[in-house]
């Protein structure tokens, strides 16, 4: 984020220990072109993230990490449950339907010009009817 500092500079002096001032100058060179921009960015960071320099991030970050891991594990469990109870049974049912729905290949019935009227060449129903009559 680039900060636009006013063209009309209105400076104010802040008294710092020499060691802190030297440390800040080194830090400021890495962050922004001016000390004012560096301080402004630092203050914005603390205010935007509701942080205080008196608090340590260690316990807060560990707590946040634990919460994230538990939520991720919960999401994974939900996805596994959906897969187990919904997706796999549905896929199995669809596969079973498609296997039964495939048309079975039947041999072509060709016209038989050599038709005989004997009992063996008659269809089974006609054969059984003739059998019952005799």
Shared domain for 51 and 66, answered yes or no, is no
Which residue's entry shows tokens 């914005």?
Answer: 44
Q: Alpha-carbon distance 39 to 28, whole Å? A: 8
Give the structural domain span for 67.
56-101
Residues 62 and 97 in one domain: yes
Residues 119, 127 contacting (CB under 8 angstroms): yes
pLDDT at 126: 52
Whether residue 26 lies inside any domain: the answer is yes
Whether 22 and 38 share a structural domain: yes
- pLDDT average, residue stretch 105-121: 60
pLDDT at residue 40, rounded to an integer: 92
Q: Are residues 61 and 92 in the same domain?
A: yes
**What confidence score (pLDDT) does residue 51 get?**
78
Decide: helix, strand or coil at residue 86.
helix
**What distance in Å separates the CA atoms of residue 84 and residue 63, rounded to the nearest whole number?**
32
CA 27 – CA 42 distance, rounded (Å): 11
Structural domain total, the chain = 2
31-45, 57-71, 80-94: lowest mean pLDDT where?
A: 57-71
90 vs 61, higher pLDDT: 90
The token pair at 6 is 């006013």
């Amino acid at each position: 984020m680039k900060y636009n500092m006013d063209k009309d500079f209105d400076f104010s002096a802040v008294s710092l220990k020499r060691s802190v001032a030297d440390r800040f100058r080194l830090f400021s060179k890495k962050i922004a072109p001016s000390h004012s921009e560096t301080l402004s960015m630092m203050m914005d960071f603390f205010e935007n993230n509701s942080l205080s320099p008196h608090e340590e991030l260690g316990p807060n970050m560990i707590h946040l990490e634990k919460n994230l891991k538990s939520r991720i594990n919960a999401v994974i469990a939900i996805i596994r449950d959906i897969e187990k109870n919904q997706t796999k049974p549905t896929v199995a049912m669809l596969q079973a339907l498609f296997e039964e729905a495939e048309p079975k290949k039947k041999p072509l019935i060709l016209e038989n010009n050599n038709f005989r009227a004997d009992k063996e060449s008659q269809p089974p129903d006609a054969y059984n009817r003739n059998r019952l009559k005799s």
